[in-house]
Structure 1
Amino acid sequence: MKLGLQLGYWGAQPPAGVGELVAAAEESGFDAIFTAEAWGSDAFTPLAWWGRETSRVRLGTSIVQMSGRAPTSIAMHALTLDHLSGGRVVLGMGVSGPQVVEGWYGQPFSKPLARTREVVDIIRQVLAREEKVTNDGPHYPLPYVGEGAVGLGKPLKPIVHPLRSDIPIWLGAEGPKNVAQTAEIADGWIPIFYTPKSAGMYQPWLDEGFARPGARRTRDDFEIAATCHVQVVADADEKAAVIDAMKPVVSLYMGGMGAKEQNFHKQVFERMGYAELSDEVQRLYLDGKKDEATALIPDELVDDMHIIGTEAEVRDRAAAWEATGVTTLLLSCRSADEVRRIAEVLA
């Protein structure tokens, strides 16, 4: 199992010290660095900026929001950065949610599965550069012939010859149909809130995708990159303090992300067996009672979602994650020393 440094997306200001984190990851044997985007900083620019100082680690996005760019534009970003990095790009993508897609990008959210399939197919056409890129699907028609078209569009190939025709495409997916489609058409999966206890829930969904005719990968060469906070602590008291510090993030995703009627993250917790808890956390959170919502988050849930313990416990827990099929742990680290410590413990 490999380690990836998850840089995430920015808050109100660009984060400090990222260059040191990336250098430590490169030096300490991490396999990759990943960037993300929400509705502020984008994923590609920070990856190019900080990735320019690296020579070995893979450069991944987790995730690029598909509605934010045309599929061919996403492909252009990926093939450009792949050339500049010498073939180290991992293209992680996801559908985001209706609040962001329709409220920020001004695009329709309906039929996310069909949209994802079209996006992946178009990007693969661009990267293959075998034929001019076309798409007959209803969501991203190429050439465009819909309302407002002047009728002069023509199929094109990318001017630049891609360095690799098989840049890995990983998809963020949460529900049964989305996970199955990911196993069918992608090279890897970026789950959210994946844990050893919940891993069994996903296996039939993955198996369904792998069994479909024309599936791109098998379980043996399919990557699973799970986000997980790893922290080495001295004793139980320190572990309890770390768990308490992480509860606000759990309550945010469980109760405060998305709309009340449609929160995909909350649905993941429901499938994990926390339906009643999720309902109450969401009610309190949306009523503005964030502290009360956070107080309901059980220690065992946070402990299951992350790897927190002594050096021996961290090694044992990491092995448990690997045993479920995880090929990469995506870790958020606060300092270069923390990067080095984790690498040393899990070497």
Structure 2
Amino acid sequence: MRWGLTVPLTGVPLRDHRDLISELYDLGYTDLWSAEVAGADAFTPLVLASEWDDRLRLGTAVVPVHTRGPAALAMSAAALADLAPGRFVLGIGASSETIVTGWNGIAYDPPLARTRDVLRFLRQAFAGEKVDGSFDSFTINRFRLEKAPDVPPAIMLAALRPQMLRLAAREADGAITNWLSAEDVRQVRAELGPGKELAARIFVCVTEDAEMARNIGRYLIATYLTVPGYAAFHDWLGRADLMKPMREAWSTGNRNAAMAAIPDHLVDALIVHGTPAECQSHINRYIENGLDTPIIATLPTATPLLQTAQSLAPNRRTPLRGD
């Protein structure tokens, strides 16, 4: 069974992760996965981790396919694959128009075509081939990696809906998803099919203060699930009517009303909270429903996140008070 953690932990400097990362494998973690939004880039935390531990699998969840040129992306991935041969998974995805265009000033090409083309380019580049020619969304002129990875990294796709899940099933090594309940895993797994790895980032708030956890969850749900890609994902999952009041309030700029419109049962489905044991039990429901790799994203509480990450480990030695 795989058990992953998202790094870096929110608010914890990268340099202060060394002791935690050095003990994660012995605590029962198998994976470290980075993210790339507006904090650390996806590669730097994993480069550091590759030097601090030689047992954990390292993955990006995910690198946007628009914000780096295909060759630059291949070079960064090849360097990390060289540092951690056989232990690196390159997760790529379309990200969002806000990040790609709003923050980076780059045109947001049709996400399915761009993701497919970058995936195909990377396969050729990692195999040591010279890539020369036109894809649907870009043209490459005579590029070859100076040194192709001895062990090409697995490539997984960020996928929320059927088309991207089917692309992952056909051409990638698996799919990475986000913002779903344990019960939603069955629907996503059915679309991806058997034989491909399915990973998901799961937001976890270790606290017995359910009101605090739900308030944190409401803020995150209103912020994320009003983004078009995530909104369409939850429409597909069958939550269009449930989320309509939140979306309508958000669209008028009434953020407080939007958060108030989110029912407790939805927060409890999408945000794992409770004691460490209760959180572990909830995460295990995702696995029972077809998830291969849970990627825990710890949410801030009064307990330091380093201690929270330790408390969620399968082989944890020191439970938190109240567990």
State the alpha-carbon separation in 2 of the partners of residues 279 and 319 from structure 1.
30
Deviation at 1:172, TM superposition (A): 0.7
- Residue in structure 2 matching 1:338, options 308, 311, 317: 308
State the alpha-carbon separation in 1 of the partners of residues 244 and 160 from structure 2.
18
Distance 1:3 1:277, change over 3 A: same
Structure 1 or 2: more strand by fraction? 2
Please name the residue that 2:42 is paired with. 43
After superposition, where does 1:25-40 map in structure 2 within 5 Å? 25-39=24-38
Contact 1:24 1:339 in 2 (8 A): no
Deviation at 1:14, TM superposition (A): 5.4
Secondary structure of 2:82's aligned partner: helix
TM-score (norm 1): 0.80
Distance 1:335 1:101, change over 3 A: closer
State the alpha-carbon separation in 2 of the partners of residues 197 and 139 from structure 1.
36
State the alpha-carbon separation in 2 of the partners of residues 320 and 310 from structure 1.
16
Distance 1:8 1:252, change over 3 A: farther
Please name the residue that 1:118 is paired with. 117
Secondary structure of 2:66's aligned partner: helix
Please name the residue that 1:243 is paired with. 214
1:206 aligns with 2:192: yes
- Residue in structure 1 matching 2:147, options 130, 139, 160: 160
After superposition, where does 1:73-112 map in structure 2 within 5 Å? 73-112=72-111
Contact 1:170 1:187 in 2 (8 A): yes
State the alpha-carbon separation in 2 of the partners of residues 203 and 107 from structure 1.
32
Contact 1:198 1:272 in 2 (8 A): yes
Deviation at 1:341, TM superposition (A): 1.6
1:133 aligns with 2:131: yes
Please name the residue that 2:301 is paired with. none
| 1:12-58 residue CA offsets vs partner (Å, 9 max, x unmatched) | x9578433443342441211111111245321123213442222112
| 1:223-263 residue CA offsets vs partner (Å, 9 max, x unmatched) | 111111345555xxx334323332211111123x3xxxxx1
State the alpha-carbon separation in 2 of the partners of residues 15 and 243 from structure 1.
28
- Percent identity among equivalent residues? 29
Please name the residue that 2:266 is paired with. 301
State the alpha-carbon separation in 2 of the partners of residues 252 and 162 from structure 1.
39
**Larger deviation, residues 48-57 vs 67-76:** 48-57
Deviation at 1:160, TM superposition (A): 1.3
Contact 1:35 1:43 in 2 (8 A): yes
- Residue in structure 1 matching 2:293, options 317, 328, 345: 328
Secondary structure of 1:110's aligned partner: coil
Work out the number of aligned pairs and report it.
312
| 1:176-214 residue CA offsets vs partner (Å, 9 max, x unmatched) | 21111111111121111122222233244223xxxxxxx
TM-score (norm 2): 0.85
Deviation at 1:109, TM superposition (A): 2.3
Which one has a bigger Cα radius of gyration? 1
Contact 1:5 1:25 in 2 (8 A): no
Distance 1:48 1:305, change over 3 A: same
Deviation at 1:10, TM superposition (A): 7.0
1:197 aligns with 2:183: yes
State the alpha-carbon separation in 2 of the partners of residues 93 and 294 from structure 1.
30
Gaps of 5+ in 1: 144-154, 208-218, 258-262
Deviation at 1:104, TM superposition (A): 3.3
Gaps of 5+ in 2: 299-303, 318-323
The CA RMSD over aligned residues, in Å, is 2.7
- Residue in structure 2 matching 1:254, options 225, 228, 237: 225
Q: Which amino acid aligns with 1:335?
A: L
Distance 1:63 1:249, change over 3 A: same
Contact 2:7 2:45 in 1 (8 A): no
Distance 1:38 1:245, change over 3 A: closer
1:6 aligns with 2:1: no
State the alpha-carbon separation in 1 of the partners of residues 148 and 139 from structure 2.
23
Contact 2:14 2:45 in 1 (8 A): no
Deviation at 1:345, TM superposition (A): 6.6
Q: Which amino acid aligns with 2:250?
A: Y
Distance 1:103 1:231, change over 3 A: closer
State the alpha-carbon separation in 1 of the partners of residues 108 and 77 from structure 2.
23
Contact 1:231 1:342 in 2 (8 A): no
Secondary structure of 1:142's aligned partner: strand
Q: Which amino acid aligns with 2:270?
A: M
Please name the residue that 2:321 is paired with. none
